Amino acid sequence: MASLKDLRARIGSVKSTRKITSAMKMVAAAKLRRAETRAAAARPYADAMRRMLAEVARSVAGEGGQPALLTGTGQDKVHLLVPMSSDRGLAGAFNSNINRTTRNLVLKLQAEGKTVKILPVGRKTYDFLSRDFSDLIIGHRHLAAGKEIPFSAAAELGEQISSLLEKGEFDVCTLVYNRFRNVMTQTPTEMQLIPLALPENDNADSAQVAAYEFEPDEGALLSSLLPRNLQVQIYATMLETAAGENGARMTAMDNATRNAGKAIDRLTLKYNRTRQTNITNELIEIISGAQAV
By the criterion CB under 8 A, which residues form the site for other proteins?
Answer: 38, 41-42, 44-45, 48-49, 51-52, 55-56, 150-151, 154, 205, 209-216, 220-221, 224-225, 228, 231-232, 235
Output the smallest distance, CB 188 to other proteins, in A.
25
Taking the least distance from each CB to other proteins, the nearer of 1 and 211 is: 211
Nearer to other proteins, 38 or 141 (CB): 38
User: Minimum CB separation from other proteins for residue 55, in Å?
Assistant: 7
Please state the closest distance from residue 219 (CB atom) to other proteins, in A: 12
Contact status, residue 105 vs residue 136, Cβ threshold 8 Å: no
Across 27-148, where does the E strand assignment appear?
78-83, 115-118
Which CB, 218 or 245, lies closer to other proteins? Answer: 218
Q: Which residues pair with 84 in a beta bridge?
A: 121
Alpha carbon 149 to its chain's center: 13
The amino acid at 280: T
Q: Which is nearer to other proteins, 20 or 41 (CB)?
A: 41
Angle at 177 between CA 255 and CA 152, to 5 degrees: 110
Contact 123, 142 (CB under 8 A): yes
Measured distance CA(263)–CA(246) in Å, rounded: 25
SS3 154: helix
Question: Residue 121: in which H helix or E strand, if any?
Answer: none
Least CB distance to other proteins at residue 224 (A) = 6
- Residue 143, Cα to own-chain centre: how many angstroms? 11
For other proteins, the closer CB: 211 or 292 = 211
Residue partners of 192: CB distance under 8 A and separation at least 6: 172, 173, 174, 175
Least distance in angstroms from the C-beta of 47 to other proteins: 9
| CB 237 to other proteins: min, Å | 13
Nearer to other proteins, 14 or 42 (CB): 42
Q: Report the nearest approach of other proteins to the CB of residue 87 (Å).
A: 20
Give SS3 for 85: coil
What is the Cα–Cα distance from 124 to 147, expressed in whole angstroms? 16
> 14 vs 161, which CB is nearer to other proteins?
161
